[in-house]
Amino acid sequence: MDTCRYLLVGDSAVTVEFSREILPETSQKIRALKEQIASARISGVLETVPAYCSLLVHYDPTVIQYGQLVEQLKKLQTGIVGKAFPPSVVMELPVCYDERFGPDLEYVARYHGITREEVISLHSSQDYLVYMLGFIAGFPYLGGMDERLATPRLETPRLCIEGGSVGIAGKQTGIYPVSSPGGWRLIGRTPLKLYDPTQEKIALLDAGCYIHFRPVELEEYRAIQRQVEENRYTCKTWLKEV
Amino acid sequence: MGILIQTPGVLTTVQDLGRMGHQACGVSPSGAMDQKSTRLANILVGNRENEGVLEVTLGGTSIVFRRSNVIAICGAPAPAVLDRQPVPFYKALSVQAGQTLSFQYAPQGMRTYIAFAGGLDIPLVMGSRSTHLKSGIGGFHGRKLQQGDYIGFRSPRAYLPHQELRRVEEEHFPRSGETVSIRLLLGPQEDAFTKLGQGTLFESLYEISQNSDRMGYRLIGQPIESKNGSDIITDGIALGSVQIPPSGLPIIMMADRQTTGGYAKIATVITQDISLLAQCPPGVKLRFVQCDVETAQALRIAGRRNIEALIRRFQHMTGSSYWVQVNGKTYFVTLEAGT
């Protein structure tokens, strides 16, 4: 039996909690409910925010009240039980693992007693699930890194890390969407913009999609960077095989 | 032509009712801390409720008008003069090019809002004019206003029809040291805390710390006991969420909040009390009172009806409306043609 909990978040939001464990299946259910809510166009629902195990639904209580909303959400939620989830999208992110972008690649390799090439190969052979975006605009919380790459953070964080930098922090890998301070071990950089407030779709990624890192040489990195600047680059995507 | 910032004060920013619809991408809503005062100021000058206003924190700001317009000031009563003349709050008034509007320090409340008829010439970023300081987005180049900043008017008015009738009752705001009641709904993670911990929240007083800002109000008082620490798997955050970090001391999430977080949230401030909370300066003591969702939503609906009634009043205003004083109380009266 598929049960979820409806948690009261003040008078203008409700959290639909699917589990208390971080699992790809939970992420699928959250994505499915988010899509159901969007297509049901429940009047009064303002926006929905996916997280690891739950979906936060913001609503206007002058239009729809708590009891009515939960009733509608329960109907939608029952509607997704037992149904096959639509396949997830995989997005290809070119990453240049050159020294100038990945100053800690050497450290990560030495830390695990492997070669730089092996680090790159381990890091770019996985599909990473985007569980949610948060912390700062466009920042993806990723799951699925090979445990052989787990590396502790820097003892002293860097003051400025360029947007697009790809790094490792403990058991996670991630990408800095904009320049910011941070303590991740940097291994490369993508020329793509994960966050662009001037675009209609401000974040490149969505919760529930996967990303795949494709290693590129410096020359290709520069070429893609130019295309991105000129708004000519289209991210390569395909459907995830189940 | 519009306004020139002569003295920015501690913190003056451009805000509207917030940048909604992008929280799934991690974009903070930001927006005016006291949305009620923002709405009132805009309605008084005939703007949409969501028009961009100046949010002046604790007074101390002065601005020079480079063009005439109609303005209204609501919120914290920081004594204000236009050149040398004291300026009334909660009322539409005409200002002339060349005049200077100066605020002193606000003895009560925390934030003063200035609305300009026709709005400020500030570009929309993701549909909003609000400034989010931490990410440097929106408002005036994503930052707080500085001396010499210039903001144009979009469509200024010299005078509004029946302008003298465009006024509303003044509001009163708390001062440092006073005790204020704020209503909470338990949840979403009240079960992460012991009965004792939940009791502490409602039975003790919490003082607003100096370390409070537009992102969060940090509180000083009795730590709240959790069952097994207050870390949770990161989830979504709403306006007014009362987060409990490992110290046990609550942080209330305000306008510039992050969209998700990993601390358990024991309760949430009801929407109707957010504007009052936003007007509480550091040193105010909060007494939390438990509320239920039906009451909170009924209060919110009643608040909305009042705002809508006000909008209608100004839309239908004719020459036969008056302010009448009876036994010391002020009433707004409209004479209608009868048979």
The ranges assigned to domains in chain B are 2-165, 179-291, 294-335
CA angle A14, A20, A25 (to 5 degrees): 95
From chain A, the residues in CB contact with B27 under 8 A are: 137, 202
- pLDDT higher than 50, residue A163: yes
According to CATH, what is the number of the domain A88-240?
2.40.100.10
Q: How many CB atoms lie within 10 A of CB A94?
A: 22
Residue of higher predicted confidence among B339 and A234? A234
Say if B265 is an interface residue toward chain A (CB within 8 Å). yes
CATH architecture of B179-291: Beta Barrel (2.40)
- pLDDT band at residue A34 under the 50/70/90 scheme: very high
User: What is the rounded average pLDDT of the residues A43-61?
Assistant: 97
**Residue range A105-136, pLDDT digits in tens:** 999 999 999 999 999 999 999 999 999 998 88
Say if B307 is an interface residue toward chain A (CB within 8 Å). no
The conformation of residue B227, written as its DSSP 8-state character, comes to S
Q: Given this model, what pLDDT does residue B320 score?
A: 63
According to CATH, what is the number of the domain A5-80?
3.30.1360.40
CB contact under 8 A, A9 and B137: no
Q: Given this model, what pLDDT does residue A241 score?
A: 83
Q: Given this model, what pLDDT does residue A155 score?
A: 87
Strand A172-175 and strand B251-253: the pairing is unpaired
Q: Is the ipTM of this complex over 0.90?
A: yes
Residue B161 Cα, gap to closest chain A Cα (Å) = 31
What would the two tokens of residue A145 be?
């890194």
Compute the distance between CA of residue A168 and CA of residue A185 in angstroms, rounded to an integer.
5
Residue of B125, B293, B294 with shortest CB distance to A197? B125
- pLDDT band at residue A80 under the 50/70/90 scheme: confident
Say if B296 is an interface residue toward chain A (CB within 8 Å). yes
B100 contacts B64 by C-beta, under 8 angstroms: yes
How do the domains of chain A map onto residue ranges?
Answer: 5-80, 88-240
DSSP one-letter string for B237-250: --TTEEE--TT---
The residue of chain B nearest to residue A63, with distances taken between CA atoms, is B301
Compute the distance between CA of residue B101 and CA of residue B83 in angstroms, rounded to an integer.
6
Compute the distance between CA of residue A42 and CA of residue A44 in angstroms, rounded to an integer.
6
B17 contacts B26 by C-beta, under 8 angstroms: no
Q: Given this model, what pLDDT does residue A203 score?
A: 94
The residue of chain B nearest to residue A132, with distances taken between CA atoms, is B24
CB contact under 8 A, B300 and A11: yes
Point out the least confidently predicted range of A55-69, A77-91, B183-197, B293-307. Answer: A77-91
Q: Which amino acid, A136?
A: I
- The answer to whether the bond into B88 is cis (omega within 30° of 0) is no
Question: What is the enclosing helix (H) or strand (E) of B15?
Answer: strand B11-15
- pLDDT higher than 80, residue A167: yes
Residue of B236, B271, B272 with shortest CB distance to A15? B236
Compute the distance between CA of residue A132 and CA of residue A141 in angstroms, rounded to an integer.
5
From chain A, the residues in CB contact with B253 under 8 A are: none
First to last CA, chain B: 49
Within chain B, which residues score under 70 in pLDDT?
318-323, 332-339
**Residue range A203-233, pLDDT digits in tens:** 999 999 999 999 999 999 999 999 999 999 9
CB contact under 8 A, A54 and B236: yes
What global pTM score does this model have? Answer: 0.92
Say if B297 is an interface residue toward chain A (CB within 8 Å). yes
From chain B, the residues in CB contact with A133 under 8 A are: 24-26
Interface test with B, best of A5, A6, A11, A18 (most B CBs within 10 A): A11
Q: Given this model, what pLDDT does residue B265 score?
A: 97
Say if B293 is an interface residue toward chain A (CB within 8 Å). yes
- pLDDT band at residue A198 under the 50/70/90 scheme: confident
Nearest of A155, A29, A136 to residue A88 by alpha carbon: A29
The residue of chain B nearest to residue A138, with distances taken between CA atoms, is B25
CB pairs under 8 A between A and B: 138
**B43 SS3 class:** helix
CB contact under 8 A, A137 and B26: yes
Q: Given this model, what pLDDT does residue A1 score?
A: 42
What would the two tokens of residue B228 be?
């097994």
- pLDDT higher than 90, residue A3: no
**B303 SS3 class:** helix
